[in-house]
Amino acid sequence: MYGVAYGKLYIAGEYAILEDYSKAILLGVPKKITAIIEQSDTTTIFDTLYNKKVTLDENNKDFHLIQNFIKFIQNYLKSKNSFSLTILNELHGKNSKYGLGSSGAVLVAIAKAMFNFEKITFDDLLIFKLVVLYNIKHNIYSSMGDVAGSLTQGLTYYEKFSHSKLLSLIEKSSSDKEVIESSWHGLIIRKISTNIPIELFAHWTGDSIDTREHIKLWNNNKSSKIDNYLTFIKQSNTLVSELYLTFFTNDANIFLNTINKIRKNLLFLESFSNIPMETAPMKKYIEKFPAGKQSGSGSGDIVLGFKNSGKPFSINLILKELQIN
């Protein structure tokens, strides 16, 4: 039995999506994480990222997240079955990550594999809620957009749930099952199907960025520049809504113009937040296209270029280091 999760790109909505009820558009790419489960007398975990095998209770800092998540899902499923888990990770190069996500996608793939192993039906919303609930219970806080974007290949529209209302729901509920089966205020995850004639070029910059450091800057500077932050968030959500509509009108020109407005808004955020957005090579790469922007936290990882292709939406994922002459 197996489960698959996909690497993700932020097409729109980064940073603002950290706030409740904000909006984002993500793209699940062909690079993926596959979790394979086979019956075994003892539960073991092998991850190609570390090229190492451990048991479920073995003390190894690289596997704590996965070990605890397996126990969390077993408890939810009321299962005591043992198995061998193999994790095939395509989201990292030999010595660095690409910026396509990893930890959230790993948990999505494992949850899908465990449900399949137990022969229990599930949908993407259930998997999303389980991964988010696990993260919150282990004090791991983020937009959870990476989780939403890794559920399926292709485009996804995501609106972030109310964190405070979810915490209240967790406190009032008698079980994880009750939390999962309840409605989460504000949460929307919607698959996008489109024939918009846009070709996306997603190029790895060669620089790997720790998103957590950028999120710290977001949180640390917010109170002192609250008016600017609110302006940025409002504009981001407006532009995500405008971009979302183009996937149904198939208007490539409005799409490209909106991407450029999203880039301008991210550079506005940089101007007052001290969060670095674009390196010099990223700027030069973007200038080669009618529209472009960073994907995610910026200052490295993946840079995006868009053009009108005359053919339905497509992606070129280029995972060799960016070279700008």
* CATH code of the domain containing 252: 3.30.70.890
If asked whether residues 248 and 103 sit together in one domain, one would say no
pLDDT tens, residue by residue, 173-193: 999 999 999 999 999 999 999
pLDDT tens, residue by residue, 254-287: 999 999 999 999 999 999 998 999 999 999 999 9
Range of the domain at 220: 198-318
Question: Between the CA atoms of 112, 115, 116 and 119, what dihedral angle is there, to the nearest 10 degrees?
Answer: -160
Considering the domain boundaries, does residue 323 fall inside one? no
Q: Is 61 exposed, middle or buried (0-12, 13-18, 19+ CB in 10 A)?
A: exposed
Query: What is the Cα Rg of the chain in Å?
Result: 20
3-state SS class at 183: coil
Residues for the chain: how many in total? Answer: 325
If asked whether residues 183 and 298 sit together in one domain, one would say no
pLDDT tens, residue by residue, 38-90: 999 999 999 998 999 999 999 999 999 999 999 999 999 999 999 999 999 99
- Residue 170: give its domain's CATH number: 3.30.230.10
Distance of CA 316 to the CA centre of its chain: 19
Look up tokens 């020109």; give the residue: 253
Number of helices and strands (H, E) in the chain?
10, 11
If asked whether residues 215 and 166 sit together in one domain, one would say no
- The last residue of one of the domains, among 192, 213, 236, is 192
- The last residue of one of the domains, among 142, 160, 192, is 192
| CA dist., res. 28 & res. 25, Å (int) | 10
If asked whether residues 249 and 175 sit together in one domain, one would say no
Query: What residue type is assigned to position 135 of the chain?
Result: N
